[in-house]
Amino acid sequence: MNLTKHWVAQLDDYVIDLAWSPVAGVVDPGSQISDFKSQISLATASAAGPVSIFSGADGARQHELPGHENGTNALAWMPGLKRSDGRGQISEVSAASLLTSLSSVASAKEDNLRPLPSSVLATGGQDGAVKFWDATSGQHTATASLGKAWVEHLAWRTIQKKSEARDQTSAEKAKTSDLRPLTSDLCVAASAGRDFVLLNPDASVRHAFKPAPKTITALAWQPSGGCVAVAYFGGVCLWDADDFIAQKEFPYANGIHALVWSPDNRWLVSGNQDPSVHLWLPEQDQEFHMSGYEGKVKHLAFEHTSRWLATSGGSDACIWDCSGAGPDGRTPLMLPHDAPVCALAFQHNHGLLATASQDGGLVLWSPERKQPLRATVRMPTAATKLAWSPDDQFLAVGAENGSVFVLKCEA
């Protein structure tokens, strides 16, 4: 494999977060998307506060958003949806675009239902606010104030359900007769201090949960969207997304830095301060504990088949095999670096793992191979964030010195 520079941009401070936008418009998965890069954007957050949105094609700065006073902590794009044509073919459409279409249909019956922007970005900051932006126009659309504590975690939820598009006009039915839309119940989870809320895309509060026992340190939606896991010193609580009750609580007598679900909804994993990794099987009420790390485990990632779990916590990226009965009793795969691992990310639909270390090392691995090393690159400074593009062809790297690198991955 080769990693080659596609484009580079510079922010005014440490890159605290970055994320690729969903694919805009409808995509035929059976065809090559020659203009894929022109359909996506990369949002980046500077620790100083501003949020920059770059073109995926060439790195041109599309918008410079003011972000949050004193600093921005997190950003998250409204996710994409999938829809079926009834013959097994799945196409992608941006969530907001589909909602806009459905909103226009229903607007005759509900005057207060307004179409959403075609591309929505949520940001959280040190001002205690969650802000929503129309990323197409670069305009601020709404703000939800959560108090004085920093907003440090944001995560969207998408529930996909087949529905019949009722109340359509004859013309609209003709346009969509070959598709069965998948409607979505969209909201973003946000935490600030001990407070945890679900917000609608217009910044209205869907539900405010009772305060957590301690400051919330991580949150993660179950991939099916049925519940959200909320972590704090002392444990994890699973909150139901529909009736807002606590499904389960998992005590853990230490600090938790990171949470991740396996894509198949089976495993919930925490990276911990002690230092260790803890795994739960919520459906079976089982749990496992993996210790022996050099330092705090702050980074976790699951491979798309749910087999491989990658963890930081030392100068090796530690890879656990979670297939079958899980990692208990298995020897992990150790992927070596010359300095502590500071970021890692699996591709969305393929098996490559990217890991970065404090000395500027950036490495690609294939954990399923006997010789997993695929490529090595030396960056000018340590990475703060890694993010694969939706098609897995480009790797975005945020750096401590404010640089943003987009690298092309090819054989």
pLDDT digits (tens, 9 = 90+) for 326-353: 999 999 999 999 999 999 999 999 999 9
Contact 71, 83 (CB under 8 A): no
Give how far Cα 185 sits from Cα of 199, 224, 336, Å.
11, 12, 42
Q: Which residue has the tokens 């005590």?
A: 251
192 Rama sector, left if φ>0, alpha if ψ -120 to 50, beta otherwise: beta
- CA dist 345 and 341 (Å) reads 12
Chain centroid to Cα 86, Å, comes to 29
pLDDT for 167? 40
Give pLDDT, residue 351: 96
Q: Are 221 and 261 in contact (CB under 8 A)?
A: yes
By residue count, the chain amounts to 411
Residue 129 confidence (pLDDT) above 80: yes
| Tens of pLDDT, residues 174-210 | 343 333 334 457 899 999 999 999 999 999 999 999 9
DSSP 8-class letter at 22: P
Determine phi and psi for 349, rounding to 5 degrees: -130, 10
Q: What mean pLDDT value characterizes the chain?
A: 86
Of 21-35, 230-244, 275-289, which range is least confident?
21-35
Q: How many whole angstroms separate alpha carbon 40 and alpha carbon 56? A: 5
pLDDT of residue 16 exceeding 50, the answer is yes
pLDDT at 411 (0 to 100): 84
Other C-beta atoms lying within 10 Å of the C-beta of residue 301: 23
- Of 322, 222, 217, 317, nearest to 272 by C-alpha is 217
Ranking 173-187, 212-226, 292-306 by mean pLDDT, the lowest is: 173-187
pLDDT at 258 over 90: yes
d(CA 293, CA 286): 22
Mind listing the pLDDT tens digit for each residue in 62-117? 999 999 999 999 999 998 754 444 443 334 444 444 444 434 433 433 434 344 55
Q: Which helix (H) or strand (E) holds 208?
A: strand 205-208
What confidence tens digit (pLDDT) does each residue in 356-393 have?
A: 999 999 999 999 999 999 999 999 999 999 999 999 99
The strands making up 129-134's β-sheet, listed across from edge to edge, are 72-77, 120-125, 129-134, 139-145
| d(C-alpha 170, C-alpha 383), whole Å | 53
pLDDT at 37: 52
**Phi/psi at 175 (5° precision):** -70, -30
- Percent of the chain at pLDDT above 70? 81
- Closest-CA residue to 342 (of 356, 362, 328): 356
Asked if the model's pLDDT at residue 27 lies above 50, the reply is no
Give the confidence band of 402 by pLDDT, cuts at 50, 70, 90.
Answer: very high
CA-based radius of gyration for the chain: 21
24 vs 62: CA distance, rounded Å: 16
CB contact set of 195 (below 8 Å; sequence gap of 6+): 146, 147, 149, 208, 209, 211, 212, 216
**What's the pLDDT tens digit per position in 133-182?**
999 999 999 999 999 999 999 999 876 443 333 344 444 443 433 333 34
pTM score above 0.75: yes
Q: 61-65 and 51-55 as β-strands: parallel, antiparallel, unpaired?
A: antiparallel
